[in-house]
Amino acid sequence: MFHPKGPRFMELVRQGLSSVEEGYDLLAPKFDYTPFRTPELVLKASLAQLGPPGSVGSALDVCCGTGAAMRHLRPLCRERVVGVDLSQGMLDEARRRLAKAPGTAALEFVRGDALALPWHEEFDLVTSYGAFGHIPEEDEPRLVENVHRVLKPGGRFVFATGDEPSRRSAGYWMARAFNAAMRVRNALWSPPFVMYYLTFLLPRARALLEAGGFHVEARCEALPEPYSRYELWTVTATRR
Ligand SMILES: C[S@@+](CC[C@H](N)C(=O)[O-])C[C@H]1O[C@@H](n2cnc3c(N)ncnc32)[C@H](O)[C@@H]1O
């Protein structure tokens, strides 16, 4: 499925019947061959505006997975780039894949929860890509609190998200149907697999971040083919 080196259908089913942590442990060796890894052009569009190489002290990538964003963050940073993720399997894969990544900043791989980050005012930059679907809507304020706490005053939280889709679009109803199926799955099967669409979209993310002590700027990026029909918003939230 997806790519010859990607997971087979039954492997995805097994992943979907596991917890988030176990599911990603299982998927880790093949994750980079799935569409769940954030595409390079999204990372480039989002991170290009951050400044020239060496212009940032230290960065934290939340839900780093196999290190897709950390590869771009390393040349940008002078001191350290930390990736935090629930899945040790994904972190091991990130460490392996980034062994020769360009840049001199120290790389650290920390097993931890985005909702309980173990730092206080340590980072100039926090990023997160492709993972907000794993944060239940009711926990989004906690995510904002955590990012606020780990950033130094004046530090930036940079991520990509989408705008609220039209209720007349097929995509909106497909996402709602997926979410409903996931709720049924989680009501009937343990452990839960937390994965929902339409989360932390621009209007709600902006409101939560502003209420949580950030100044928010959002930019709509024009994407090349085959992604030109998607609207990608790059958000920079600066800790006040
Ligand atoms: C779809 S992958 C995205 C990985 C990477 N950021 C990328 O863009 O390719 C989602 C990642 O989020 C991690 N994750 C999910 N919930 C998490 C949580 N509460 N705290 C930390 N990591 C989490 C998963 O283990 C997985 O590695």
Q: 159: Cβ below 6 Å to ligand 1?
A: no
Residue 1: per-residue pLDDT: 52
155 three-class SS = strand
- For the chain, percent helix, then strand, then coil, each to nearest 5? 40, 25, 35
Task: Rounding to the nearest 10 degrees, give the CA dihedral for residues 67, 72, 76, 77.
Answer: 10
Cis ω before 226 (30° cut-off from 0): yes
Residue 11: per-residue pLDDT: 86
The beta strands (E) that lie in 131-231 are given as 151-161, 214-221
Distance 192 CA to ligand 1 centre (A): 15
Q: 38: Cβ below 6 Å to ligand 1?
A: yes
Q: 37: Cβ below 6 Å to ligand 1?
A: yes
Mutate which of 63, 64, 95 for ligand 1 pocket (most atoms within 8 A of beta carbon): 63
**Atom in ligand 1 nearest the alpha carbon of residue 61:** 6
Output the pTM of the full model: 0.95
| Strand order, beta sheet including 214-221 | 106-111, 77-85, 56-62, 123-128, 151-161, 232-239, 214-221
What are the residue ranges of CATH 3.40.50.150 in the chain?
A: 37-164+201-239
CATH number of the domain located at residue range(s) 37-164+201-239 in this protein: 3.40.50.150
Q: 133: Cβ below 6 Å to ligand 1?
A: no
Q: 131: Cβ below 6 Å to ligand 1?
A: yes
Write out residues in the chain with pLDDT < 70, as ranges.
Answer: 1-2
Residue 18: per-residue pLDDT: 92
Residue 2: per-residue pLDDT: 67
Q: Is the CA virtual torsion 168, 229, 7, 139 positive or negative? A: negative
The span from the CA of 122 to the CA of 118, in Å, is 10
Residues 129 and 104 sit within 8 Å (Cβ to Cβ): no
The values of phi and psi at residue 55, to 5°, are -90, -5
